[in-house]
Every structure is written in C-alpha cells, then in structure tokens.
Amino acid sequence: MQQYVRTMFITLVICIGIFLASLVIGRFFIPINEVMNILSSKFLVLPITWDASMYNVVMEIRLPRVLGAIAVGIALAVSGAAYQGVFRNDLVSPDLLGVSHGASVGACIGILLHLSLYGVAILAFMGGILAVCLTLLLPKLIQNQSRIVLV
C-alpha cells in the first residue's frame, strides 16, 4: 500500500509539472512565477506584475488548450476502459465494432456535402454510432433467419 501511495504521489507531481510547463513553454515565453501569479489571481488578491498580453496568452489561449487536452485524454481513457470491461479483453480497440470505419464514412459524407467542421464532426459521431448498432444488430437478424440450431 505504501508503494502505491508513493507512486501516485510521484505521478501527481509529474502531471502538475507537465501542466505548468505547458503553460510556460511556447512561442511567447512567460516565466513560471508570472504564470503562477496569473493563475492565483483568480482566487487571491495579488498585485498585478504582468501585462495584458501575458494574461491573455495564459488565460485565453494556453489554459483552455491544456484543459481541453486533459478532457480528451480522460474521455479516451474512460472509453478504452469501457471497451475492455464490456468485451473482457485487454487488447480490444475501436476497430472491433467498426467504430473507426463508421466514423470515417460519416466524416467523408459530411465533407462531400460541404458541411462545416461541426457538421462533419456530428456526422462522424453518428456514423460511428450507426456502425456499432449495425454490428450488434446484424448477428441477431441473421440468427433468426438461419437454419442452424444453436445449442
């Protein structure tokens, strides 16, 4: 148990370090103390030692991107864990049910229809869902019409 707690603590420190480094490193360099002050200014009353461009870069550009990347990573991890749990297979992938190919077909249809980026994304999502539904529905339809008796 002690090793688990230590490993989780080290992982948390590394993740916080990467989070802060992603807010500091970029085309427009901002020192780590200024980033910490800008982030803390939302919760504490601090004297302003940064200019407006630093604030805008951190709060309007880098922070939303970093939080978006974290949210996407969490969603991918949860969906992968759900697939592994449903199929009881550690090597399962979205290709198993045809999600990737269905989403590709939906995205291609959206591109051919000259839809916006959101329209293409919505059609890709619907194509993936449709592929999963067809993959799960087809064996039941074929089994009902088959002459093979399953015991």
Per residue in 92-111, pLDDT (tens digit) is 777 777 888 999 999 999 99
Q: How far apart are the C-alpha atoms of 112 and 99, rounded to whole Å?
A: 20
The proportion of the chain whose per-residue pLDDT surpasses 90, expressed as a percent, equals 42
Tokens in use for 71?
Answer: 């949210």
The Cα-based distances of 43 to 40, 73, 150 in angstroms read 5, 27, 65
Show the tokens assigned to 40: 């803390």
Distance CA 149, CA 25 (A): 64
The pLDDT tens digits for 1-17 are 889 999 999 999 999 99
What lies within 8 Å, CB to CB, of 54 at 6+ separation is 28, 30, 34, 38
CA distance linking residue 70 with residue 23, whole number of Å: 13
